[in-house]
Amino acid sequence: MTKTPLTNTGFYSESPRSGVLGWLLSTDHKRIGMMYLGCITTMFIVAAALGLAMRLQLFTPGQHIMTAQTYNATFTVHGIIMIFLFIIPSIPAAFGNLLLPIQIGARDVFFPKINLLSWYLYIIGAILAVLAIFTGTGAPDTGWTFYVPFSTQTSTNVSLAALAAFMLGFSSILTGINFVTTIHRLRAEGMGWGRLPLFVWTLYATAWIQVLATPMLGITLVLVMLERFFGAGLFDVASGGDPILFQHLFWIYSHPAVYIMILPAMGVISEIIPTFSRKPLFGYWAMAISSLAIAFAGSLVWAHHMYASGMSDFAILVFSLLTFIVAIPSAIKIFNWISTLYKGSIELAPPMLYALAFILQFAIGGLGGLALGAAAADIHLHDTTFVVGHFHYTMFGGTGFAFFAALHYWLPKFTGRMYNHKIAFIAWGLLFVGFNTTYMAMQAVGIQGMPRRYYDYLPEFQTLNMVSTIGSWVLAAGLIVMFVNLLNGMRNGRPIRMNPWGGATLEWQVPSPPPMLNFGKEDPVVTRGPYDYKGVKADEF
Amino acid sequence: MSFEHRDDTGDRFGMWLFLYTEVILFSGLFILYAIALTTYPQEYITASNKLNIWFGAANTVVLLTSSLTIALAITAIQRNQIRLCISLCVATIGLAFVFLINKYFEWSHEISLGIYPASETLRDMGPGVTSFFNLYYFTAGLHGLHVLIGATLITVVAVMVAKGKVTSDRYVLLENSALYWHLVDLVWIFLFPLYYLII
């Protein structure tokens, strides 16, 4: 295929500064979004490689490629990078920045300079995290949860890793403040709350969690650092502290954080399903309100991570009940997506395939969550690889696949070029099969009793572990094919016009890639809803 | 290429969101305090009696006065009294330093008695008293850091007022700094009774 030059280069060529500084000092939301996308994808590949190494160690029992200490450091660093540097910022920071202003008809976010500051804080956090691995007394080995007392006593580089997470938290808070303010103050004329695309609604719910929950992580990590530096011991029984309190404070943030991870993913799916069904989203308000309901109810369930910590039975009962309540708005979403598909004119384009895989995998992960939320089942499943399988189903099978769906859906918009669809289908097939093999086997072996975070295991767990590891190879092959295809599409793909998919939201009414000010000199006036497909046609490409 | 855009309400809205995050940052420490107080009620009274109430009371008066001066600074700029506005900002910064100097003498005194995190003296006093002083140092320390940040912020704004970048029809930056300063004041209003006045 010969490369066709783009007739329109949009925000890539319009900038007050040229060259690298035009990116590093740019306050344009699209440039910042693309920088986030690059960094986040890199971090994902690094952490995925660590995950593959762990699976390789677990291929057969015994020590092969890593020692117990290396294995501990590997799952810790895999967790820290995946959670704080990939999933939390993945969709909100990268796609949120790229799309939020355009989707509400604005020229930029409300605080563009603070937006750039968030990006720099992200980069500082990333650098500190990498330094924590390679400098000092060895990579942190506490798991991404930094549980005390181990995290205050281990000689490894926990302080630096905690500082990295603190910085990333600060970055996340500033993005949250920016998005809430943007959605309140910068909607274009005619863009009422009832016309917001669902992606914006989920970003809104997410941003509130970022604002209200993240500071709790900040103070908790600061206290761990203080304990390490001054030996003061606010979580130390001998000094009148309580290690269980650390778990409470940590999960007060970190449980809502899983909704920071999943809500924007649900927003992505809510955009893709209607576009490729050629039907308005079923139950718009139910979808919008359920996003806020998940954010609210999800903030009250943190102690369901601690059933085995010696909490009172009454507390367990309350948190178990609240956990079940979160399933209601989540189920509303699943049913509404399926109702949107019903009798739709479904087109199985690559983004749609990822979205459908999301629904299946998120449903499996969500139902597994109910098994863990029930106290009786949790006592058996606690700290087994079932838990690991469960959250990979929601976080990777859910958010990860939604991230891939978003890449396939929106990347052409921002690069102006389309990737190869046939290869995208192959990549999707490999990812789908590889993912489900890896993590279903992991869940199954967890039910049999295999504990998580162990580098070695009993011989009876070998078959399922081998299946899981082989699945991880298929998964890795899928990732390689997908990223190569997307990268190739960005550079050499066929140029597209405004609306390759026939979407009705505002980003499909501006050129691809969009110009610096998004809508030219005139402010846009919105006259139709986000899922009103009447008269909207997809461009040929 | 740049697109001029102004929305003071939005700027204030963003600041309020930021203040929520600050409240939650401190609330982590308040949770720890609440749990420890119910676990060691008697020890907390003993420990509280070791603090010098006059230092705390003086600092409360200082911070309340500084909240007044910064509020007056906003009124001054609204009436276009630039010099008065700058003097009031300087007064606020001055009071912030009085607060910190006071804190310095208070802490020096306590440290000279051997009361500081992870000290031998503290360990001998038992877990309840230790937890009180750990929380006291970290909460007051975090608050002191906020006093310093607030004073820096007001200094920057005062310079901008002097340079004419913050004016009588564009003073949202001063308002936001004042909001931050009131939060610093408010946190102290909770710290003072919790640490100095428990009986």
Q: Does B28 touch chain A (CB under 8 A)?
A: yes
Q: Does B180 touch chain A (CB under 8 A)?
A: no
Higher pLDDT, B20 or A149: B20
Q: What is residue A421's predicted lDDT score, i.e. its pLDDT?
A: 96
Averaged pLDDT, A200-211: 96
For B8-35, the pLDDT digits (tens) are 999 999 999 999 999 999 999 999 999 9
B119 interaction partners in chain A (CB closer than 8 Å): none
Token couple for A292: 């806020």
Q: What b/e sequence results for A408-422 when a residue is b if at least 16 CB atoms lie within 10 Å of its CB, and e otherwise?
A: bbbbbbbbbbbbbee
Q: Which residues in chain B show pLDDT less than 50?
A: 1-2
CB within 8 Å of B111: residues ≥ 6 apart: none
Residue A30: exposure state from Cβ atoms within 10 A (0-12, 13-18, ≥19): buried
B 36-95 residues with CB below 8 A of A? 36, 39-40, 43
Please report, for residues A368, A397, A402, A441, B170, the alpha-carbon distance to residue A393 in angstroms, rounded to integers and kept in the order given.
Answer: 9, 5, 12, 12, 51
Token couple for A382: 């606690």
B35 interaction partners in chain A (CB closer than 8 Å): 242, 245
A-B contacts (CB, under 8 Å)? 111
Residue B155: exposure state from Cβ atoms within 10 A (0-12, 13-18, ≥19): middle
For A325-341, the pLDDT digits (tens) are 999 999 999 999 999 99
For A41-56, the pLDDT digits (tens) are 999 999 999 999 999 9
CA distance A42 to A47: 9
Give the SS3 label for residue B167.
strand
Nearest CA to A87 among A43, A125, A127? A43
Q: What is residue B152's predicted lDDT score, i.e. its pLDDT?
A: 96
CB within 8 Å of A463: residues ≥ 6 apart: none
Token couple for A503: 């979407």
State the pLDDT confidence band at A234, using cuts at 50, 70 and 90.
Answer: confident
State the pLDDT confidence band at A297, using cuts at 50, 70 and 90.
Answer: very high
Nearest CA to A247 among A172, A331, A147, A169? A147
Nearest CA to B132 among B56, B27, B34? B34
Higher pLDDT, A112 or A237: A112
- The residues that bridge with A495 in the sheet, in sequence order, are A417
Phi, psi angle pair for A531, to nearest 5°? -120, 30
Q: What is residue B2's predicted lDDT score, i.e. its pLDDT?
A: 45
- The residues that bridge with A74 in the sheet, in sequence order, are none
Q: What b/e sequence results for B42-54 when a residue is b if at least 16 CB atoms lie within 10 Å of its CB, and e otherwise?
A: ebbeebbeebeee
Domain A19-509 CATH (choose: 3.40.50.2300, 1.20.910.10, 3.50.50.60, 1.20.210.10): 1.20.210.10
Percent of chain A past pLDDT 90, that is, above it, reads 83
CB within 8 Å of A391: residues ≥ 6 apart: A258, A365
State the pLDDT confidence band at A152, using cuts at 50, 70 and 90.
Answer: confident
Cβ of B28 within 8 Å of Cβ of A211? The answer is no
The CATH homologous superfamily to which domain B8-196 belongs is Cytochrome c oxidase, subunit III, four-helix bundle (1.20.120.80)
Domain ranges of chain B: 8-196
Averaged pLDDT, A298-311: 92
A237 interaction partners in chain B (CB closer than 8 Å): 127
Mean pLDDT of chain A: 93
